[in-house]
């Protein structure tokens, strides 16, 4: 089953538990610490741009170089300059000392490593320096560029770190059309609105607002966004998704969410589901796509993989771990319940067919807790319970077990097979008790048997021989105690089992 989402020419538009997501998300302990602090509300503005680096030595070197830049600017008397001259001095000094070589896709750390930059990383550097010197600024994003405006409330000084167009390229009309169609399918856009506004307007308004101002954290998100594109270039879709995930953390936006859904589609079309993280991606696809169709696809894919690990490989251990990741990652409670019911029903059927009735009934219980009306749940519980009695054991212990299950699962009280099992055990206990001259216990269970037959005669599978023998044992027990009672019991027994040799012998003895 192939996932609907494809990336078409995604590079053009974007150019520029058990195992869980955290185990693969971060490239280094440093990066994880940066994002942990960010999630806690503490923002390290330099750190979020250096976070993609796996080399702590590079992080240290970058920190020292930016400190040296501040020292130089201080020595050049920046504090005594007017607003326009401050911006001019920063622009010239940064370019002269740090910005050496333009490259389409790069990160801030590479500026400090070798002077390589693009519009995103250079704009980030200027934003950091402006922040240090308390210079007000805005970061502007538009389809072809990222740039800064210093002193936006009065001077509006444009700070172009590179030539416009670097870091992004515009898609063709056909590519825009493909993207808009996907956005409609995934319910990011309404078809009526697209028909009214047109492809170009719908596309531009979704992906960009004209000269939209963004935060410095958003700019760090764009850096991860570009990292995602670089890995897409090599068809490394899992790495791309992890970068897109971090991009969306720093820059929550419709375009990042759309990128994540598209990448999840590509991942699901290319992975072989040999790792539990693959089931996380499957759950995330359902979460992000969030359509009835995507849920059907997700369930279909999961069903195929479940069949693979149950039928082909009989690997219930890996399947259990994978389901844990999968189910815990699904955000829609109704869909999670649907998937869980399917999983435990199929797993229970697997165990039932192999005679493992204890495991089968436990699966049935889980389904029942989710949906008491689920027919698979009722079948697994009743079928496993019946099969577990096939070892021939009968008695009070078995009746108590049936009572317990019937109390917990009321549908059993209407199950003819369970009621027939009750009748069998009532007859057995009554028969055994009368044989041991325990008439109190015997009559107690004989009455229960009679009541059950009276109320459910049409649905019960009656073992007439066993019923006759129960009355025979009762009649024999009363034979020397109360002859009339004995005769009455024989009469009732013969109504069910007229050819019963035991009853006929006792009848002759009393004639």
Query: Distance between CA atoms of 6 and 2, rounded to whole angstroms?
Result: 10
Burial class (CB in 10 A: 0-12, 13-18, 19+), 301: buried
Whether 89 and 126 have beta carbons less than 8 Å apart is answered as no
Contacts of 502 (CB under 8 A, 6+ apart): 468, 469, 472
What was the pLDDT predicted at 13?
Answer: 37
What was the pLDDT predicted at 190?
Answer: 85
What was the pLDDT predicted at 24?
Answer: 67
What was the pLDDT predicted at 144?
Answer: 59
Q: Which of 159, 10, 31, 189 is nearest to 86 (CA)?
A: 159
Query: Distance between CA atoms of 107 and 128, rounded to whole angstroms?
Result: 14
Query: Distance between CA atoms of 73 and 75, rounded to whole angstroms?
Result: 5
| 3-state class (DSSP) for residue 143 | coil
Query: Distance between CA atoms of 326 and 441, rounded to whole angstroms?
Result: 53
What was the pLDDT predicted at 170?
Answer: 42
User: What are the start-end ranges of the H helices in 198-308?
Assistant: 199-207, 216-233, 237-250, 254-270, 276-289, 292-307
Can you read off the two tokens belonging to residue 482? 């109360």
Whether 17 and 306 have beta carbons less than 8 Å apart is answered as no
Contacts of 221 (CB under 8 A, 6+ apart): 246, 247, 248, 249, 250, 251, 256
Q: Which of 508, 9, 34 is nearest to 250 (CA)?
A: 34
H-helix or E-strand containing 213? Answer: strand 212-214
Instruction: Please give the average pLDDT of every successive group of 10 residues along the chain, which has 511 residues.
Output: 43 40 76 89 90 81 94 96 93 92 85 90 94 93 77 83 43 75 77 87 67 86 88 88 93 88 89 91 87 87 94 93 93 94 97 94 96 95 88 84 94 92 94 95 95 84 91 92 92 93 91 75
What was the pLDDT predicted at 55?
Answer: 74
* pTM of this structure: 0.73
What was the pLDDT predicted at 189?
Answer: 81
Q: What does the DSSP assignment read for 68-129?
A: HHHHHHHHTTGGGS-HHHHHHHHHHHHHHHT--EE-SS--HHHHHHH-EE-HHHHHHHHHHH
- Expressed in percent and rounded to 5, the helix, strand and coil fractions of the chain are 70, 5, 25
Can you read off the two tokens belonging to residue 260? 């994540």
Cβ neighbours, 10 Å, residue 79: 9
Whether 325 and 24 have beta carbons less than 8 Å apart is answered as no
Q: Which of 393, 392, 447, 388 is nearest to 423 (CA)?
A: 447
Whether 211 and 142 have beta carbons less than 8 Å apart is answered as yes
Query: Distance between CA atoms of 341 and 383, rounded to whole angstroms?
Result: 17
| Span 389-510 CATH architecture | Alpha Horseshoe (1.25)
According to DSSP, the β-strands at 137-142 and 145-150 are antiparallel
């Amino acid at each position: 089953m192939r996932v609907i989402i494809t990336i078409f020419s995604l590079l053009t538009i974007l150019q520029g538990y058990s195992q869980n997501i955290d185990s693969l998300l971060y490239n280094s302990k440093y990066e994880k610490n940066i994002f942990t602090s960010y999630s806690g509300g503490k923002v390290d503005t330099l750190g979020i741009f250096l976070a993609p680096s796996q080399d702590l030595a590079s992080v240290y070197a970058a920190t020292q170089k930016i400190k040296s830049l501040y020292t130089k600017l201080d020595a050049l008397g920046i504090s005594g300059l007017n607003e326009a001259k401050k911006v001019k001095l920063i622009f010239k000094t940064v370019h002269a000392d740090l910005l050496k070589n333009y490259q389409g896709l790069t990160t801030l750390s590479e500026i400090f490593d070798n002077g390589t930059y693009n519009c995103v990383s250079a704009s980030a550097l200027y934003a950091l320096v402006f922040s240090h010197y308390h210079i007000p600024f805005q970061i502007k994003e538009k389809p072809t560029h990222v740039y800064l405006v210093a002193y936006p409330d009065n001077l509006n000084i444009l700070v172009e770190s590179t030539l416009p167009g670097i870091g992004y390229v515009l898609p063709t009309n056909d590519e825009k059309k493909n993207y808009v169609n996907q956005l409609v399918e995934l319910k990011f856009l309404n078809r009526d609105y697209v028909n009214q506004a047109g492809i170009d307007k719908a596309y531009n308004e979704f992906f960009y607002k004209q000269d939209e101002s963004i935060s410095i954290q958003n700019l760090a998100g764009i850096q991860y966004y570009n990292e995602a594109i670089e890995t897409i270039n090599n068809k490394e879709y899992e790495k791309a998704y992890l970068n897109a995930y971090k991009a969306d953390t720093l820059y929550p936006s419709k375009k990042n969410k759309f990128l994540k859904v598209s990448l999840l589609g590509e991942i699901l079309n290319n992975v072989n589901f040999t790792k539990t993280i693959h089931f996380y991606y499957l759950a995330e696809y359902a979460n992000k796509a969030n359509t009835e169709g995507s849920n059907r696809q997700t369930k279909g894919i999961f069903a195929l993989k479940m069949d693979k690990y149950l039928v082909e490989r009989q690997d219930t251990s890996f399947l259990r771990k994978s389901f844990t990741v999968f189910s815990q990652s699904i955000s829609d409670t109704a869909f999670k319940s649907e998937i869980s019911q399917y999983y435990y029903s199929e797993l229970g059927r697997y165990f039932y067919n192999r005679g493992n009735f204890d495991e089968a009934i436990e699966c049935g219980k889980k389904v029942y807790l989710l949906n008491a009306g689920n027919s698979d749940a009722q079948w697994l519980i009743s079928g496993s319970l019946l099969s577990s009695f096939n070892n021939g054991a009968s008695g009070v212990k078995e009746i108590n077990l049936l009572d317990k299950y019937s109390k917990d699962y009321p549908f059993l009280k209407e199950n003819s097979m369970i009621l027939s099992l009750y009748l069998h055990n009532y007859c057995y206990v009554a028969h055994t008790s009368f044989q041991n001259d325990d008439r109190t216990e015997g009559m107690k269970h004989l009455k229960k048997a009679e009541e059950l037959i009276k109320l459910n005669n049409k649905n019960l599978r009656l073992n007439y021989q066993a019923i006759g023998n129960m009355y025979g044992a009762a009649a024999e027990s009363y034979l020397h105690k109360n002859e009339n009672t004995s005769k009455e019991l024989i009469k009732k027994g013969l109504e069910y089992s007229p050819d019963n040799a035991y009853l006929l012998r006792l009848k002759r003895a009393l004639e």
